[in-house]
Amino acid sequence: MAELNRRQLLGAALGAAGTLAAGSGVAGQIWPLLGREDLVPGRAPQLALQEAAWTRAADRMSFAAVGDTGSGGRQAMAVAHRMAEGYRQAPYGLVTHLGDLCYYGSVEDRFDDVFTRPMRPLIDAGVRFELAIGNHDGALHHSDASLAEIDAELRLLGTPARHYTTSHGPVDFFYLDSSAPGLFGEDSSEQLEWLDDALASSTNQWKVVCMHHPVYSSGSHGSTPGADEVLEPLLARRKVDLVLSGHDHHYERTRPQHGVTYVVSGGGCKTTPVGRSRFTASSASALQYLHVDVVDDRLTGRSVRADGRVLDRFELRAREGR
């Protein structure tokens, strides 16, 4: 029997229950996978939030970061509800989405389920969403099917390109296509040269890089092969402050590595195990999102669980002599 990829397995599990009864070959692959998925329907957040309640200033801004939200299930709704509660308590004007916006089908078909319904309170409040594209099938390499999905995501979210930069108050954000060939393949030089030039041209106080595949991770996928050789030296040389990623479905923050702090925030709808490595400052397998406040030369981050408990807090000070 041919090996099925993750999307095919889930499609079989969700749409062809009769197949399970017909034989044990597919079932033997599906049942272990289903235990890690967010397949139970959930209620969308019903909160009414004050529109555009966040502070606008040249020296301050607040944002949320979350990755791997794309189930549309009960756990995704719980994280989305907590993000809306977080806005109500401390408003933010931006969500940086760290990839894998949609699981279990086409984003064209599921956009309302995986994005509009869970994020409706934030959308209605005028919060901006910016996307670092993901991989969809758990691998570093994009397939033709996942490339088509990514193109649809870019269009549906109004994302300008696979890699791009934005500015909000004192923070410049740099969004990467962290796939192969996007960042780690034979044709990666174009994006790396673009990133080097964009970081060099940045004059803002803070530099935050957003990407799907983690440079450092102690989780199921682990640190991305080649990132330590190809990407990390550039980030250190250009004095990036913070790198945000998803892909592994846990939370993890590193100790500064050559001056750069790396955070995995991939607990947007499901979890996978995580350990600790020499670089780990904090880690947990938890549904969560990241809330970040930037005020002048200080950046404060809080990893917030779906139940509202704070998992981790950290503070960075802006670098001098850029």
Encode pLDDT of 155-185 as tens digits: 999 999 999 999 999 999 999 999 877 787 7
- Asked, for residue 197, whether it belongs to a domain, the answer is yes
Residue 18 lies in a domain: no
Tell me the whole-structure pTM to 2 decimals: 0.90
Q: Could you say which DSSP state residue 247 is in? A: S
- Segments of the chain assigned E as strands: 60-66, 94-97, 128-131, 164-168, 171-175, 206-210, 242-245, 251-254, 261-265, 280-284, 288-295, 298-305, 310-317
Q: For residue 5, what pLDDT is reported?
A: 45
* Residue at 12 is within a domain: no
The residue segments making up the domain with residue 222 are 56-317
158 sits in the region (left: phi over 0; alpha: psi -120 to 50; else beta) called left
**Per the structure, how many domains does the chain have?**
1
Q: Is residue 207 part of a domain?
A: yes
Predicted confidence (pLDDT) at residue 7 exceeds the cutoff of 70: no
Per-residue pLDDT tens digits for 203-253:
999 999 999 999 999 999 999 998 999 999 999 999 999 999 999 999 999
Rounded CA gap, 279 and 256, in Å? 8
Q: Is 270 within the bounds of a domain?
A: yes
Confidence band, pLDDT 50/70/90 cuts, at residue 187: confident
Task: Name the average pLDDT for the chain.
Answer: 88
**Does 318 have pLDDT greater than 70?**
yes
84 belongs to a structural domain: yes
Q: Is residue 21 situated within a structural domain?
A: no
* Region 279-291 average pLDDT: 98
pLDDT at 188: 84
CATH code for the domain of 146:
3.60.21.10
Domain-embedded: residue 184: yes
